[in-house]
Structure 1
């Protein structure tokens, strides 16, 4: 029997985004023959990314989860799409906070949006799976349209 738990999902899911980012960045650094230290980059990303991910999950993700549940439209898909959209906002706000250090330009926004979509969606999907959110096809109480 599986033990589904929102509390367990809150502890585990926010770590997924920074880990995915680290893996992707490390692969890019290795294959681009970057002179930077992979270990230093991993430490920096994890030390900044994990707290940001937990804060975003609590401030944005949990209210979205509760809203979707209250409206009876909570599915893996609805939560993952919502998380992906929230990921764009969180990552854009995170990078814009470095404005005095150069921040990011509008042309870079699309890269940030793509990365935010992947990371936010991955955190939300992981949260949904751990907390036991059903897929739309498994919902017997209502159809997917509400």
Structure 2
């Protein structure tokens, strides 16, 4: 598992560096820096907006006695998307935006739930609850 994440980190870093150099050669170095800063600001604003909306949805569902599973998954995806948008680079920005846009987040949530259900039903993941 460690090898997988190490390779993923190196590949992601290489893609980000390649993207920054390529964009920098097209629009200039300072414009690239400004664009990276603006995507960070946009990401923080969008993550805050979407996060507050999900927080209100969780409160509403809890007040009605419902379990807010989809809303909690949305909250985790928004957190990941916000972190990705704060990282410098365009590849992480695109992935972060995909996590923050409600329609694409719904698709990711569905795929994630289906993947987790397969893991749990196959016995590869076990859940233990304390009382």
Q: TM-score, normalised by structure 2?
A: 0.35
Structure whose residues are more often helix by fraction: 2
Structure scoring higher RCO (CA < 8 A, sep ≥ 6) equals 1
Q: Which has the larger radius of gyration?
A: 2
Q: TM-score, normalised by structure 1?
A: 0.33
